[in-house]
Amino acid sequence: MPDLLTEPPAIDPVYEARVYCNIPTIAERSMEGHAPHYFKLVSVQVLIRHGDRYPLYAIPKTKRLDIDCMLVPSRKPSHPHLEAFIKHMSKGSAAQMDGSLSSLPRYPSHSLCEMGELTQTGVVQHLRNGQLLREIYINKHKLLLGDWTAKQLYLETTGKSRTLQSALALLYTFLPDFDWKKINMRHQWSTIFCSGSCDCPMRNHYLEEEQRRQYSLRVKNNDLEKIYVDMAKIVGIPTRQLRASNPMDSLLCYFCHNVTFPCTKTGCITMEHFKVIKRHQLEDERERQEKKLYFLYALLATHPFLNQTVNRLQQIAEGKKEEVFVLYSAHDVTLSPVLSALGITEARFPRFAARLVFELWQDGKRPKEHFIRILYNGADVTFQTSFCKDHYKRSNKPMCPLEKLVHFVKRDMFLIFNSTSYYDACRRRAL
């Protein structure tokens, strides 16, 4: 299970960075779609992080990282359907796109990547995701038939080109050559997908506390400070300015694309610099789990999203045939709190093209009974969730009753705040 942190404390920062890059190589093993033969799959909801992208920040006074964001099927990494994907995207004017989404490009096309732009690697990552999900959910489980309708899909993305393009890449291999008239892409303005329930003062409070914790850990790390001082000397800027430019964002792109780290007349940024910063990030992740401030933030940040998810699953369990396949295209700051809120503490920080899947199953022997499975990058994490850990010991079924998730989202998420509702929890401190 490559995306669960089950290793001992001495984690190799270079190995962790490779996992984060998610370079498309051999086909991965996946546990999606596994259930006893008499169970019927009735709904799948997928939350993805966008694929590999160009950095959001540049390291000051270094040469611009030269990465081509044109899609070239003959260049690696590639995909058998990449050429057909490019052709299909050029016909997309018939799709319904909310608001500003219609003005975004449907695939990346700059010979020199723009800041934050999806790369060819990022497109290929989601073409692979879509193909894998198609083999399981369409070919094997017949979740959608050939005459599927627009009402059977629910598609939502943030307003960044990289999330829209990631969604379209996954969708293209999931439903090859789909009819653009059946595509209705909704725009979500919030990166935590809180829609109309974003007013939550205590969520902001816990986020500020969590940011203070991060700062405190960073200033205590002498090795990290020495590395930042050294790197700042190399590029010829004040240490504070280097730190503010978030150098790891750029360095990860160098690393993932196998490009030599930048040099100046004074010297070169090295793998040792990279390792120290990456090691600190991993220590930060571990302390974040222990201190629980992020967990409190996550509960409040993700309740609107999880509540919408649960409402939809309940409606489908009651017989509704619409929105049986749902795709949310989002960011690391979307997936990370969802994993935390669900109690999946062993999950790694979301890599490029990470996917979190909620499967809803109907018991063929007792059709009124419905169960869920939750999978993260193909690994079954259902029984790592806080609401289904104990059920595993008492049940012979490899899944969790839907009611457990419903009770968690509608009631148990608020217990730690001594509250019974989201509105109340957003205005009351935790015990």
| Six-digit token string for 270 | 């090295």
Angstrom CA distances, 81 to 35, 68, 151, 283, 318, stand at 30, 19, 26, 40, 37
Distance between CA atoms of residues 157 and 187, nearest Å: 5
Distance between CA atoms of residues 200 and 421, nearest Å: 12
**Chain centre to alpha carbon of residue 212:** 24
332 carries an active-site annotation: yes
147 carries an active-site annotation: no
- Choosing from 3, 50, 126, 273, the catalytic residue is 50
Distance between CA atoms of residues 293 and 289, nearest Å: 8
- Choosing from 249, 332, 391, 407, the catalytic residue is 332
Give the number of other Cβ atoms within 10 Å of residue 387's Cβ: 20
Helix, strand, coil content of the chain in percent (nearest 5): 45, 15, 40
**Chain centre to alpha carbon of residue 11:** 22
Identify which of 387, 379, 359 has the alpha carbon closest to the alpha carbon of residue 35: 359
Q: Hey, which residues are catalytic here?
A: 50, 332
